[in-house]
């Protein structure tokens, strides 16, 4: 069950800057801190962001399961948070992490290495 934004514990100054989608979520891009490799995209609400900032482990909201999940809690492929930045529009966060193991549920290092789309000439 999702936590109401007002009850999340997220710093009100940060919460005020967020521009959430209709479901109350912001996109969260996980990036390997030392290489710049983009690992995955997840979704966070105020509570997930609060947990990420306070625990140092990435917490996301699962839209399919309708529950919070901590990356690596069952697989061991954890994301240790190095830094979190809000984008200029307030509708996405960049979470720079130290990824242990793979990031993608398919077993790949990143969710963005399977289908390379090339521009047409």
pLDDT digits (tens, 9 = 90+) for 33-57: 999 999 999 999 999 999 999 999 9
Residues 16-38: pLDDT tens digits? Answer: 999 999 999 999 999 999 999 99
Contact 20, 90 (CB under 8 A): no
pTM recorded for the entire structure = 0.88
Residue carrying the six token digits 């909201």: 61
**Other C-beta atoms lying within 10 Å of the C-beta of residue 36:** 8
For each of the domains in the chain, give its residue range(s) and CATH number, in order of start: 5-99 (3.10.20.810)
d(C-alpha 68, C-alpha 61), whole Å: 5
Residue with tokens 């105020």: 46
**Confidence bin at 120 (pLDDT 50/70/90):** confident
Q: How far is CA 96 from the centre of its chain?
A: 10
């Amino acid at each position: 069950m999702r936590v109401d934004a007002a009850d999340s514990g997220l710093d009100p100054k940060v919460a005020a800057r967020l521009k959430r989608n209709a479901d109350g979520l912001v996109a969260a891009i996980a990036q390997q801190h030392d290489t710049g490799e983009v690992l995955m995209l997840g979704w966070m609400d105020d509570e997930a962001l609060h947990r990420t900032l306070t625990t140092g482990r990435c917490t996301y909201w699962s839209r399919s399961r309708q529950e919070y999940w901590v990356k690596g809690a069952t697989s061991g492929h954890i994301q240790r948070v190095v830094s979190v930045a809000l984008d200029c529009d307030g509708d996405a966060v960049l979470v720079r992490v130290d990824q242990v193991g793979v990031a993608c549920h398919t077993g790949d290092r990143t969710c963005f290495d399977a289908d390379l789309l090339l521009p047409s000439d």
